[in-house]
């Protein structure tokens, strides 16, 4: 690969030389201009300071006598000396009485404060303004301008000469650096070519020129290195052949060992899976019991105190009303009016109304907390380790309360409950199945979506369907979603056990779980469980140790929407 000229050592040396020369020449020219600026400025000021007293001395007497013809003659004679662009004299009232070199129709320029080195045209003047007086009495004002064109000519000549010198130095520096770069890099091209040959597999390239200078020693070192590499490669080739034989033996041993490990893993996977699930649900049950105990007691105090506070507030409102009625009966209108004004200023009526609403909202919140705690305890079902008759609609409601934080921000939840017979099951395990299906539905949504939970019954069976409007499941992986440890989530976001555990739980309850999905439209998971046969009309329904079973939610259809 051929390098760009500016990426070679010679190119970089030329760029470096040009850069250094440019910096030095810029500094030199800038310093020369600065010195010229200072010298010419001092010269112009000195000339103005020398000329102003002479002119004022010659103009004082004619101005006193108001001999403006003599004033004009003095001005004309002074301009003939040279170097003076214009002279103008104003009387003490600011009226121009004499002048030369400046049009009378134009206003006189302001005095110059500095030397305009980089000016041009009409700015190539140094303007002076000096008052004329005699014994403290003002007679007028002297205005004159010095011609600075010679200074600008000198500046142009300096810049032209400096630029010529700079160009000459840049050309000479570039030629010298090219020669130096060629001498320094004369061996680098063969070295690069030999290196590429070694990289392509030629371990015995043509020897490089050797010498006593640094580049010659570099060539000798490269020759030695290439010979050492060739020898080392031969040794490595022999070692590689020996390793290949050993690797084949180890691979065969590894295949045998891997087969045995897979057999052991397959034997213990189901056991570990259910142990994990049991430990998780046991921990959840212990947590639910502790939370119920720790929260219900203080919530009882809060609810009781809110009820008492509501009664006190009613009595206080009754007392205030009685007090106002008593004042009206006494006829003390002044005190009654003052009390009403104070009542309005303190917003007593609004406080009484808002306080009642606040207490009702607080009581409603307390009831909500107690319901959530009870649902959490019901979800874990530590007090029902054996199977029992259960209403699936109530199980769904309990699970919704547990999964609501996962659902409410991403979906509109629709409930379509049918009238269901009870099923004989382990409530804790069925709750876990429902929770997995609801969480999976919420996580499948991209943005805002919709989740529908529908229940219905057929002779001998109860059905629960959880539908979503999410991404759907591709046909290629639909048959594997119930396999243990299979997941499409990112690492750390899923274990691949949720649906596998749910599948095993439903099978153990003599039911089945199926899925229907359309990519881009959504999925529907349907769980079927066997229903408890309905008793005869004259038979009494079974009663558990905790009392009669809860009433099912029959024929319920509801939509849960996000809060606005």
pLDDT in tens, 279-327: 665 666 666 666 666 676 777 778 788 888 888 888 888 887 887 787 7
Mean pLDDT, residues 445-456? 91
Q: Could you tell me the pLDDT band of residue 388, with boundaries at 50, 70 and 90?
A: confident
Q: Report the share of the chain in percent with pLDDT over 90.
A: 12
Assigned CATH for 386-560: 3.30.565.10
How many whole angstroms separate alpha carbon 516 and alpha carbon 466? 11
- Does 466 have pLDDT greater than 90? yes
How many whole angstroms separate alpha carbon 208 and alpha carbon 221? 9
DSSP-derived 3-state class of residue 98: strand
Instruction: Return the top range by mean pLDDT from 1-15, 248-262, 329-343.
Output: 248-262
Rg of the chain over all Cα atoms, to the nearest angstrom:
52
Mean pLDDT, residues 32-47? 76
Least confident of 306-310, 439-443, 458-462: 306-310
What pLDDT is attached to residue 203? 66
- Does 421 have pLDDT greater than 90? yes
Assigned CATH for 5-181: 3.30.450.20
Mean pLDDT, residues 529-540? 71
Pair of tokens at residue 422: 């009870």
Report the alpha-carbon angle 180-184-188, nearest 5.
140
pLDDT in tens, 41-69: 777 778 778 888 888 888 888 888 888 88
More confident residue, 199 or 95: 95
Pair of tokens at residue 301: 């105090």
More confident residue, 102 or 289: 102
More confident residue, 503 or 176: 503
How many whole angstroms separate alpha carbon 111 and alpha carbon 133? 19
Mean pLDDT, residues 411-424? 93
DSSP-derived 3-state class of residue 234: helix
Q: Could you tell me the pLDDT band of residue 551, with boundaries at 50, 70 and 90?
A: very low
More confident residue, 546 or 108: 108
Least confident of 56-70, 234-248, 253-267: 253-267
What pLDDT is attached to residue 91? 86
Least confident of 9-18, 37-46, 125-134, 306-315: 9-18
Q: Which residue, 361, 371, 369, 368, is CA-closest to 310?
A: 361
Domain spans of the chain? 5-181, 214-362, 386-560
- Does 541 have pLDDT greater than 60? no
What pLDDT is attached to residue 121? 47
Write the DSSP assignment of 322-352 as a string of letters: HHHHHHHHHT-HHHHHHHHHHHHHTTHHHHH
Sequence-distant (6+) residues with CB within 8 A of 328 are 336
Mean pLDDT, residues 203-232? 72
CB atoms within 10 A of CB 102: 18
In Å, what is the CA distance from 19 to each residue of 14, 109, 161, 170? 8, 44, 20, 9
Terminal alpha carbon distance of the chain = 66
What pLDDT is attached to residue 406? 85
- Counting Cβ atoms within 10 Å, is residue 418 exposed (0-12), middle (13-18) or buried (19+)? middle
DSSP-derived 3-state class of residue 410: coil
Q: Could you tell me the pLDDT band of residue 123, with boundaries at 50, 70 and 90?
A: low
pLDDT in tens, 73-100: 888 888 877 778 888 888 888 888 888 8
pLDDT in tens, 133-175: 888 888 889 888 887 777 777 777 877 877 788 788 778 877 8
How many whole angstroms separate alpha carbon 313 and alpha carbon 320? 11
Pair of tokens at residue 136: 């403290």
pTM of the predicted model over 0.75: no
What pLDDT is attached to residue 550? 42
89 touches 75 (CB < 8 A):
yes
Sequence-distant (6+) residues with CB within 8 A of 429 are 505, 508, 509
Q: Could you tell me the pLDDT band of residue 385, with boundaries at 50, 70 and 90?
A: low
Tell me, what DSSP letter sits at residue 94? Answer: S
What pLDDT is attached to residue 561? 43
Paired residues of 530 in beta bridges: 461
285 touches 382 (CB < 8 A):
yes
In Å, what is the CA distance from 96 to each residue of 53, 126, 128, 187? 20, 20, 16, 83
Strands 461-468 and 449-458, sheet pairing = antiparallel
Q: Could you tell me the pLDDT band of residue 544, with boundaries at 50, 70 and 90?
A: very low
Q: What is the mean pLDDT of the chain?
A: 77
Max alpha carbon distance in the chain (Å)?
148
- Does 238 have pLDDT greater than 80? yes
Q: Which residue has the tokens 């108001």?
A: 66
Q: How many H helices and E strands in the chain?
A: 11, 12
Q: At what angle do helices 9-65 and 149-185 cross, to 10 degrees?
A: 170
DSSP-derived 3-state class of residue 283: helix
């Amino acid at each position: 690969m051929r390098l760009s000229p500016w990426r070679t050592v010679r190119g970089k040396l030329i760029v470096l030389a040009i850069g250094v020369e440019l910096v030095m020449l810029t500094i030199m020219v800038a310093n020369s201009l600065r010195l010229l600026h200072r010298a010419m400025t001092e010269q112009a000021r000195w000339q103005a300071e020398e000329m102003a007293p002479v002119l004022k001395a010659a103009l004082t007497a004619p101005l006193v006598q108001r001999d403006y013809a003599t004033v004009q003659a003095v001005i004309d004679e002074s301009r003939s000396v040279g170097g003076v662009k214009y002279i103008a004299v104003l009387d003490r009232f600011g009226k121009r009485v004499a002048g030369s070199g400046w049009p009378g129709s134009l206003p006189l320029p302001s005095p110059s404060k500095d030397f305009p080195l980089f000016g041009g045209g009409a700015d190539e003047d140094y303007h002076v303004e000096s008052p004329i007086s005699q014994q403290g009495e003002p007679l007028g004002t002297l205005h004159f301008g010095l011609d600075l064109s010679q200074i600008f000519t000198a500046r142009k000549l300096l810049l032209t000469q400096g630029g010529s010198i700079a160009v000459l130095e840049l050309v000479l520096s570039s030629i010298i650096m090219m020669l130096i770069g060629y001498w320094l890099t004369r061996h680098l091209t063969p070295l690069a070519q030999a290196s590429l040959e070694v990289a392509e597999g030629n371990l015995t390239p043509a020897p490089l020129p050797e010498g006593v200078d640094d580049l010659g020693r570099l060539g000798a070192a490269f020759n030695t290195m290439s010979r050492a590499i060739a020898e080392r490669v031969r040794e490595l080739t022999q070692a590689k052949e020996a390793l290949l034989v050993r690797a084949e033996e180890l691979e065969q041993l590894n295949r045998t060992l891997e087969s045995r490990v897979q057999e052991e893993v397959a034997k213990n996977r189901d056991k570990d899976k259910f142990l994990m699930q049991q430990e998780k649900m046991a921990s959840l049950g212990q947590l639910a019991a502790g939370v119920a105990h720790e929260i219900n007691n203080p919530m009882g105090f809060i609810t009781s105190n809110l009820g008492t506070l509501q009664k006190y507030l009613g009595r206080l409102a009754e007392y205030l009303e009685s007090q106002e009625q008593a004042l009206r009966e006494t006829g003390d209108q002044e005190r009654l009016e003052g009390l009403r004004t104070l009542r309005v200023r303190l917003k007593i009526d609004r406080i009484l109304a808002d306080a009642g609403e606040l207490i009702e909202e607080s009581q409603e919140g307390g009831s909500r907390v107690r319901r959530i705690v009870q649902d959490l305890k019901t979800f874990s079902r530590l007090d029902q380790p054996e199977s029992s008759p259960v209403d699936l609609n109530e199980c769904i409601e309990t699970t919704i309360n547990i999964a609501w934080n996962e659902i409410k921000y991403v979906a509109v939840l629709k409930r379509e409950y049918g009238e269901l017979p009870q099923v004989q099951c382990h409530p804790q395990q069925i709750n876990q199945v429902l929770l997995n299906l609801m969480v999976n539905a919420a996580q499948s949504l991209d943005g805002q979506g919709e989740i529908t939970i529908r229940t219905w019954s057929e002779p001998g069976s109860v059905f629960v369907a959880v539908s979503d409007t999410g991404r759907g499941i591709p046909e290629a992986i639909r048959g594997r979603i119930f396999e243990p440890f299979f997941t499409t989530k990112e690492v750390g976001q899923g274990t691949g056990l949720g649906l596998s555990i749910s599948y095993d739980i439903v099978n153990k309850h003599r039911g089945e779980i199926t899925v229907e999905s359309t990519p881009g439209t959504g999925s529907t998971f349907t769980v079927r469980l066997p229903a408890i046969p309905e008793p005869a009309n004259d038979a009494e329904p079974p009663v558990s140790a905790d009392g009669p079973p809860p009433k099912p939610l029959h024929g319920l259809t509801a939509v849960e929407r996000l809060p606005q």
